[in-house]
Structure 1
Amino acid sequence: MLHIHIARRVIKGLAVVGLLGLSPQLLALQPDERCDHFTPEKRPFFGDLHVHTRYSLDASTQGTQTTPAEAYQFARGERIGVQPWNADGTAQRSLQLARPLDFAMVSDHAELIGEVEMCNNPDVSGHNSWQCRFYRAWPRGAFYLFNYMAAMRASHLGLCGEDGALCRDAALAPWQEMRDAAEAYNDRSSACAFTTFIGYEWTGVAPPTGGNLHRNVVFRSGEVPELPVSYIDTPGETLLWDALETGCNDSGSGCEALVIPHNSNLSAGQMFALQRPDGSPLDADYAAQRQRMEPLVEIMQHKGASECFYAPGVTRDELCAFEQLPRDNIARFNTPPKPDTGFLRDTWQQGLSQQEQLGVNPFRFGVIASTDTHLGAPGAVSESRFLGHGGDGVPALKAVPPGLPDKLEYNPGGLAVIWAEQNTRDALFDAMQRREAYGTSGPRIVSRLFAGFDLQPELCAAPDMATQGYAQGVPMGSELGPAPVGASLTLLLAAQQDAGVAAQPGLPLQKIQVVKGWLDATGERHEQVYDVAGDPEPQGSVDTRSCATAGTGHASLCTVWRDPDFDPAQRAFYYSRVIENPSCRWSQRLCVAGGVDCSRPETVGEGFEGCCAAEHRPVVQERAWSSPVWYQPATL
């Protein structure tokens, strides 16, 4: 039976590859074979796990026509049309990455795949329903109506039939197309040049706060459910985890999934609530299941950063102000952001408290970043070539120059970086499960962290630094402890600037910081930020009138840092933050290109009004955040 199963998989794979015009050699590599670049010490692979195409309602209703296959073509470095679109279906503008990604995943919304297909395909039953006529006549109105019903009411509209069967049937073809595209563009040759994952977004909003509950589901292999499990099917995170464990991870079919919560900065405190969806307190079973199913969270994307909150008098860490949004919920309810509404640093501290109470930390998350592009443009993170990302921002059809292509509060998004032996699904998925990953705000900064006891400064100069790091300590995302008697916790931290390309070189680094959170003997939570390598203040500068950069910085940084306040009896976590020299933000670059001088109102043309708005941020310091390491003291 096993041989029959393998034969069917090969035949299916060959058929898909032939359909999309790719070489059958892409299916040659077997899961247990090594890529040409295999290295036991691991290397960083850069990718994007949050990508929407024409099958997401919030992309389709604003004119995005990019297919899943085209999204993967773009990620591999091919030029595609992105937006806006002419009547004949051709794009007025196109885009191409300066450097291909190593991996990507199309993550269209599960909840409305069937409705989008039904309303766009005349051959599907329900195409002429009033809901689909409304969708085609007033796409922006349909954006709000359909999303409200699916994400806030966990319900289909009437076009799906009483039990939703019509929309489930309509979803089969686009879900198969997503799977086929991922299978076809996954490079299985020994070059392992590009890896794809099959996945989707589970999209819910918590009533009555309007808090974002969105999560991306990532599958290890081509063995996936017949249809994605949506928020309509499972209106709560525990219901989603149960469904994935029952129908996938524990099914014996070879299916395996993990879940990544995203942009928790807009969750109104609901993404990491301290009670179950039914209001009951968290328990050890909940904590253990969450730790199994959600090893990573998204720390940065198009809709802001979720590391930490900044407000004068609330925190002394001014770098927390980076890409902070002016609200705390995705529904745009009129509530100001608060320090405890989904920011990860506070959540990691709550996890230490929960572990003391439950014996298991439900919030032991590593981090990645991604774009959340709604143009089918994975990895389009350049500040100098930002076209907007659609979705909740400026609709793609309206993002036409001249002027700013998106709302000032949004940004080009970030990248997921995974430390793995090779660029294959198995190796990358394993690394995600063990949390050996980090996120950047866009640049391809290389960041590494090992934790141990009494690591020595000589490691920075060692040719086998990584080998010794694994032998003497643990990498980012791991647990460490308890400490030997008399030992101190030490971190080996290394970073390299983005190498860039000839036309767009990377910027030097300013510094590496360590962020520590811990519980004292009374259970009170504390945090501290340490500058551990580089320059406390920027030695580089940027002229916002021309966006030219100047000054000095560091191509690479490395240090072995000893925690001066280490107490072997205290639970703690540590993560690194690598800071780049200042540069012009995307909005300022376009303002300069548009000839805007805010002291001369006559230079502020239509579409450039945001250049002179009070909330405009002309300068950005890009960065990379590591996954934490957690120190666990001896159990009393």
Structure 2
Amino acid sequence: MRKHLMWAACTAALAFSGCSKINGDDSESANVTNTEYPEQVFWGDTHLHTDNSIDAFGFGNRLDAEAALRFARGEEVTATKGAKAKLSRPLDFLVIADHSDAMGATKAIMEAPRIALLTNKFLLRWHDMMNESEEGSLRVTAELIDGAAKGTLPTSLTDPAETRERTADLWEKHGEIVNQYNEPGKFTAFMGFEYTPMPEGDNLHRVVMFRDDPEKMGDTLPYGALGSQDPERLWSYMDAYEENTGGKVLAIPHNSNVSNGRMFAMNKFDGSPIDAAYIKTRALREPIVEVTQIKGDSETHPFLSPNDEFASFGVAGWDRCNLSCTRDMPPESYGGSYVREALKRGLELTLAVGANPFKFGMIGSTDSHTSLATADENNFFGKHSANEANITRRAHEPQNLGTREGRFGWHYLSSGYAAVWATSNTREAIFDAMMRREVYATTGPRMQVRFFGGFDFSSDDTENLVKTGYAKGVPMGGDLQGGDGEAPKFLISALMDPESASLDRIQVIKGWVDASGQSQEKVYNVSWSDAETRKLGADGKLPAVPNTVDLTKGTWDNATGAPELVTFWEDPDFRADQNAFYYVRVLEIPTPTWPVYDALKFSLTLPDDVIKIQQERAYSSPIWYTPKA
């Protein structure tokens, strides 16, 4: 009876009311015309938390799924701390990915009648702390995160029967809201959740995203890490879902940068060797990876890529300890923590085992816990509601969310977004584009990036790059096989975001396996602004683009970069017998970071170690080359 009393308080607060139906029938996707090939890029966030996540609510978030969807569609909402929040441009799609473990529990604990909790010392203590003060709520959330990492959460939050009852009610209501805001052809709302294993504080999190309408999903409920922290168990859940419903589902690993080397390890969760069955399942279930977000950037690290002058982006504060900051991360762990190294490991496994578990595309998303999917530096609402835009000293404050001090507010990035080349703005088309990896990541700016590979391109093909790219080659995420010994050729274009900065350069990052079986990497500058005066050096590097940032105004001069860069490139170091991958990195000219806008807004003096200027970027999904058998 107490269980039902506690839950009634939560579900009443979540009841949907007063919103007119926008579109509740996903079958209307059939009325949307799909283009012959992907002509448009769609922008979205696959990783957003609302007040149904135990940590988001504990951090103070009081915005529900409806508010999150309204904001993503371009409406103005009032953030938890009272500031008005609105995107300058709507998004095209959204995945609300609340944590599956103890979904809605912190809200239920806080809003339950106190008398219903008198026999449970854990929940009663947390109820009182959360209702007493914001600081108390933050302490409760830190204890929950630590308890999840150590496996010490009370059974009242982990009991399977109670968890199922609580989650089923929330999930059904969530599905109704998602369907009401899904509008095929105009805005796509997906069902999803976050699977959150954190063994010893090491991040192994995945967002799980469904292609299907909630009705087709039937009685499927989110899978929790309290059931198992082994990702293979999640993949089994996904297998069963597709077998039982005929639907489709994918998983998106994120924040490998705080996994302590475990996200892309060369063995299974239990330490046993990776085998062919594991590789096949992982490649199918995890076709894309979230490479950049608020908790840092996971492309690469200076320790792994010492010859890459742009390898340090989004590293500060995140490379010293794992997610909960309960364990230091030594440099020797970085190989399993960063995406570029994982792509290289995938090539090594291809030769050793015959298949590649790390053959994934790249996207960005926010991982915002404010219900606000914004990745704009001048419109950054923080990681969580205790760090929103009207919190004066948020860049200075320590973020004590684990058991010891680890990071400060300025370590958080205003990042990122998922860009998807799809044939229409529908669940089916966007999901299918993710499965074929025709996607790319940005740290926030909405630059348009095209990347095609083939053997028959010429420099003249840049005149009709897109049609030629599809007709004679493969897009980002694709495979090139053999080629009679000739080098692959690439067509690449990048168009600046009109609301952001102009472009500095396009780079191609190549990885390959040498004759000794060791993976290697190289960064090529292939197109850049002001090419008449900026010349490649003997080492292949370019003079830096001018830094025009005015920190006293938060401005820069777009005349120093290029509005568009287009190029044809052929690998000058190609060897027909070497497995390889290629992906594109596009850099903007230098711009201010979000703490600079805070400093101007609140008349603050930022500490010297705060990063104030950066070069925002995009990462394409790779194209893989495999020699002829």
Kept in 2, the 8 Å contact 1:568–1:633? The answer is: yes
Mapped partners of 1:72, 1:51: distance in 2: 10
1:102 aligns with 2:98: no
Q: What is the CA distance between 1:423 and its match in structure 2?
A: 0.4
Mapped partners of 1:405, 1:473: distance in 2: 49
> Residues 202, 574 of structure 1: CA spacing in aligned structure 2 closer, same or farther, 3 A cutoff?
same
Mapped partners of 1:331, 1:618: distance in 2: 26
Which range is displaced more, 425-434 or 167-176? 167-176
Mapped partners of 1:328, 1:515: distance in 2: 27
User: Which aligned pairs between 1:533-544 and structure 2 lie closer than 5 A?
Assistant: 533-535=527-529, 536=542, 537-539=544-546, 541-544=548-551
CA deviations on 1:273-292 (whole Å, 9 max, x unpaired) are: 11111211000000000000
Specify the alignment match of 1:608 in structure 2.
none
Specify the alignment match of 1:8 in structure 2.
none
Specify the alignment match of 1:322 in structure 2.
313
Kept in 2, the 8 Å contact 1:367–1:627? The answer is: yes
1:206 aligns with 2:199: yes
Q: AA paired with 1:102?
A: D
Q: What is the CA distance between 1:408 and its match in structure 2?
A: 1.3
> Residues 337, 367 of structure 1: CA spacing in aligned structure 2 closer, same or farther, 3 A cutoff?
farther
Q: Secondary structure at the match of 1:321?
A: coil
Which range is displaced more, 74-83 or 332-341? 332-341
1:139 aligns with 2:132: no
Q: What is the CA distance between 1:590 and its match in structure 2?
A: 2.0
- TM, length-normalised to structure 1: 0.86
Specify the alignment match of 1:558 in structure 2.
566
Specify the alignment match of 1:420 in structure 2.
422
Kept in 2, the 8 Å contact 1:296–1:432? The answer is: yes
User: Which aligned pairs between 1:468-507 and structure 2 lie closer than 5 A?
Assistant: 468-485=468-485, 487-500=486-499, 506-507=500-501
Which range is displaced more, 163-172 or 510-519? 163-172
Q: AA paired with 2:174?
A: M
1:257 aligns with 2:249: yes
CA deviations on 1:434-480 (whole Å, 9 max, x unpaired) are: 11100000000101100111411112112xx2121111111111111
> Residues 384, 512 of structure 1: CA spacing in aligned structure 2 closer, same or farther, 3 A cutoff?
same
Mapped partners of 2:416, 2:44: distance in 1: 9
User: Which aligned pairs between 1:122-161 and structure 2 lie closer than 5 A?
Assistant: 122=112, 127-128=117-118, 129-136=120-127, 137=129, 138-153=136-151, 156-160=153-157
Mapped partners of 1:231, 1:124: distance in 2: 29
CA deviations on 1:320-350 (whole Å, 9 max, x unpaired) are: 1111133241021352552424101111000
Specify the alignment match of 1:285 in structure 2.
277
Kept in 1, the 8 Å contact 2:21–2:180? The answer is: no
> Residues 472, 69 of structure 1: CA spacing in aligned structure 2 closer, same or farther, 3 A cutoff?
same
Q: What is the CA distance between 1:123 and its match in structure 2?
A: 7.5
Give the helix-richer structure, 1 or 2: 2
Q: AA paired with 1:588?
A: V
> Residues 345, 314 of structure 1: CA spacing in aligned structure 2 closer, same or farther, 3 A cutoff?
closer
Specify the alignment match of 1:49 in structure 2.
46
CA deviations on 1:62-91 (whole Å, 9 max, x unpaired) are: 21011011100000011112132xxxxxxx
Mapped partners of 1:589, 1:148: distance in 2: 33
Q: AA paired with 2:259?
A: S
1:76 aligns with 2:73: yes
Q: 1:167 aligns with which of 157, 163, 180?
A: 163
CA deviations on 1:189-226 (whole Å, 9 max, x unpaired) are: xxx1100110000001123xx31001000000123353
Mapped partners of 2:237, 2:70: distance in 1: 32
Kept in 2, the 8 Å contact 1:134–1:142? The answer is: no
Kept in 2, the 8 Å contact 1:511–1:531? The answer is: yes
User: Which aligned pairs between 1:201-350 and structure 2 lie closer than 5 A?
Assistant: 201-207=194-200, 210-222=201-213, 223-224=216-217, 225-246=219-240, 248-251=241-244, 253-311=245-303, 315-326=306-317, 327-336=320-329, 338=331, 339-350=334-345
Structure 1: runs of 5 or more not aligned:
1-15, 85-91, 501-505, 597-603, 605-610
> Residues 46, 300 of structure 1: CA spacing in aligned structure 2 closer, same or farther, 3 A cutoff?
same
Mapped partners of 1:558, 1:384: distance in 2: 29
Which range is displaced more, 547-556 or 361-370? 547-556
1:529 aligns with 2:529: no
Structure 2: runs of 5 or more not aligned:
1-13, 130-135, 398-408, 530-541
CA deviations on 1:110-165 (whole Å, 9 max, x unpaired) are: 00115235314438996553333222313223212323333442x6513247x431
Kept in 2, the 8 Å contact 1:17–1:184? The answer is: no
Mapped partners of 2:45, 2:20: distance in 1: 22
> Residues 453, 496 of structure 1: CA spacing in aligned structure 2 closer, same or farther, 3 A cutoff?
same
1:183 aligns with 2:179: yes
Q: AA paired with 2:181?
A: Y
Q: What is the CA distance between 1:613 and its match in structure 2?
A: 3.5
Q: Secondary structure at the match of 1:196?
A: strand
Mapped partners of 1:45, 1:549: distance in 2: 27
CA deviations on 1:407-449 (whole Å, 9 max, x unpaired) are: 1111111000111000000000100101110000000010110
> Residues 489, 29 of structure 1: CA spacing in aligned structure 2 closer, same or farther, 3 A cutoff?
same
> Residues 399, 237 of structure 1: CA spacing in aligned structure 2 closer, same or farther, 3 A cutoff?
farther
Specify the alignment match of 1:5 in structure 2.
none
Which range is displaced more, 112-121 or 507-516? 112-121
Q: Kindly report the root-mean-square deviation, in angstroms, between the aligned alpha carbons of the 2 structures.
A: 2.4
Q: What is the CA distance between 1:236 and its match in structure 2?
A: 0.5
Kept in 1, the 8 Å contact 2:361–2:440? The answer is: yes
Specify the alignment match of 2:600 in structure 1.
592
Mapped partners of 2:475, 2:22: distance in 1: 37
Kept in 1, the 8 Å contact 2:42–2:93? The answer is: yes
Q: Secondary structure at the match of 2:429?
A: helix
Q: What is the CA distance between 1:534 and its match in structure 2?
A: 1.1
Q: Secondary structure at the match of 1:316?
A: coil
